[in-house]
Amino acid sequence: METKKPANRRETEDRRPEGLTSPVEGFNDRARRAVRDEELHDSVELFTNKSVAGRNAVLNALPEAPELRERAYRIKQETMANLDRHLGQMADAVEGRGGNVFFAETGEDVVRYIGDLARRRGAKVITKSKSMATEEIELNRRLEEDYADLDLEIVETDLGEWIAQLAGDTPSHIVGPILHMNRRRITEVLSETAGERLPPDVEALGSFARRRLREKFLAADIGITGANFGVAQTGTIATVTNEGNGRLVTSVPPVHVVVMGIEKLVPRFEDLSVFVRLLARSGTGQKLTVYTNFVTGPRAPGELDGAEEFHLILMDNGRSELLGTPFEEALYCIRCGACLNVCPVYRQTGGHAYGSTYSGPIGAVITPLLKGGKEAKDLPHASSLCGACWEACPVGIPLHDLLLKLRNKQVQEGITGRAQGLAFKGFENTMKNPALYRISGKAGRLAQRPLAKAGAPKTLPGPLGAWTNSRDLPKLAPKPFSQLWKEGI
């Protein structure tokens, strides 16, 4: 019997309003709104608590975890030191198997390559899975805009991503894209798509999604995926996922395109054994994810599945500029999301406050590096520098030290502003000079006298106001320690 291609029912137009075009600046304002959103807070708490507990349990049961972490760091260090060579090796291996390789300098290059490919193939429907890199460059929206005449329908097929897309929303977590939504909201979104009221249970919602996505899988002309890892030695793309959807994207459509950040390389196949073990455990608290997929080029003669055409896009988009700089370690990230889950700031704000694809500590580090420090100038400050992220990171990236270096970079580039510059100059002069320090203390004690009479101050001008709006400000002691010492303890 002939299988008919299902009708193209368009429902996934990209209409994410606050996507990557929103200014990254303004973390504080978005965070202020987020901390008051109790529904959001509950959802994030639920997800992060579960992930952290799972992660702790499986890592504790893996005695070699610290050693694996050390090895992962070394492998990445080695990869970055010879990135050119490894990229060349990767390209040769893929081409040797009949695949196409494209080096994309920027996001625009990626869009153009895929747009032209879609035109050549006469594509109508594109399915996608597992790709943060295309999120980073807003591939969907740009394809729809720049190639409007093709009238492409681009469908996210990972369940969470799909729901986010239907809701006109962006992912708010690297691993749990819609962790900010509760069941009520998810039911609402899917019901709207179904055109009928769906019952709010996992079974019913899941089966609706499965039915609808199946149509898309069968109709797809091109499948786009990301890559968790690319093995330079063999040209293999590895994706790890908990949904079978990824495999339907890589094997059903006649064309498979991989968009991969150049930092995702590992030199050898055996390196995967280190990273795959760490990734699942750190990200979701599983020993292994449900699917670990390897794709090496297009379908070879005699093979049963795989795409006819295989394209690997190696995307730079600012990454190579970090090589050999104090920020290189940011490229070691394997996008497990562990640092988000343990980050006390992320836990209060959720991912959207960060205003970009990558949120949490790693987002606060790489967004300013990839987008330019000025636009993302709030992000390096969106951290109390508690170090929980560094402790959790399976690759051992010193995220909080990188945040400190980014703050220093802002000072050096003059992004910080004059007022702060003067304040810290004043700080320096005072603290270098014990006499001046003592006098400042005395002045402070005098200045607070009228305030102290009125009890704990509720509002004060300047930076102290930010403190006193919600916390009592401590009073300076009548006598500093140095004086008590002199008087004799």
Partner 1 sequence: MRVALFVPCYVDLVNPEVGVSVVRVLRKLGVEVVYPQGQTCCGQPAFNSGFFDEARSVGRHFMDVFEGEEWDHVVCPSGSCATMVSHYYPFIYENLPDERDRAEELAPRVREFSDFLVNVLGVTDFGAKLEGRAVFHTGCHQRRELGVLEEPQELLKNVENLELLDWRNEELCCGFGGTFSVKMPDVSVAMADEKIKALVESGADTLISCDSSCLMHLKGRLARKGRDTRVLHLAQVLDGNGG
Binding site for ligand SF4 (CB under 6 A): 174, 282, 333-339, 362, 392-395, 397, 399
Minimum Å gap between C-beta 74 and ligand SF4 is 15
In sequence order, which ranges of 257-359 are alpha helices (DSSP H)?
271-283, 338-342, 344-349
Identify whether the C-beta of residue 193 lies closer than 8 Å to the C-beta of residue 186.
no
Minimum Å gap between C-beta 375 and partner 1 is 17
Residue 75 is a binding residue for partner 1 (CB under 8 A): no
* C-alpha–C-alpha distance, residues 48 and 359, integer Å: 14
Instruction: Among 386, 451, 452, 460, indicate the residue that binds partner 1 (CB under 8 A).
Output: 386
* Helix/strand number for the chain, H first, E second: 22, 10
Tell me whether residue 72 or residue 139 sits nearer to ligand SF4 (CB atom): 72
Angle between helices 83-96 and 65-81 (to 10 degrees): 90
Instruction: Among 65, 150, 252, 404, indicate the residue that binds partner 1 (CB under 8 A).
Output: 404
Minimum Å gap between C-beta 387 and partner 1 is 4
Tell me whether residue 354 or residue 358 sits nearer to partner 1 (CB atom): 354
Tell me whether residue 127 or residue 228 sits nearer to ligand SF4 (CB atom): 228
CA distances from 436 to 203, 429, 448 (A): 70, 8, 18
Kindly write out the interface string for residues 34-53 of this chain, putting x where it contacts partner 1 by CB under 8 A and - elsewhere. Answer: -x------------------
Angle between helices 202-219 and 159-166 (to 10 degrees): 90
Q: Which of residues 307-366 bind partner 1 (CB under 8 A)?
A: 344-345, 347-349
Contacted entry of ligand SF4, partner 1, none for residue 397, CB cut-off 5 to 8 Å set by kind: ligand SF4
Minimum Å gap between C-beta 391 and ligand SF4 is 10
Query: What does the block give as tokens for 449?
Result: 């006298």
Identify whether the C-beta of residue 330 lies closer than 8 Å to the C-beta of residue 369.
yes
Instruction: Among 8, 21, 28, 273, indicate the residue that binds partner 1 (CB under 8 A).
Output: 28
Identify whether the C-beta of residue 343 lies closer than 8 Å to the C-beta of residue 384.
no
User: Which stretch of DSSP H or E encloses residue 167?
Assistant: none
CB proximity list for 387: less than 8 A, separation 6 or greater: 400
- Of 61-69, 90-98, 164-172, 470-478, the window that binds partner 1 (rule: CB under 8 A) is 470-478
Query: What does the block give as tokens for 13?
Result: 């137009």
Beta strands in 145-246 (DSSP E): 153-156, 222-225, 229-231, 236-241
Q: What residues line the site for partner 1 (CB under 8 A)?
A: 27-28, 31-32, 35, 344-345, 347-349, 380-388, 390-391, 401, 404, 406-411, 416, 420-421, 424-425, 427-428, 430-434, 437, 441, 444, 456, 463-464, 466-467, 469-477, 479-482, 484-485, 489
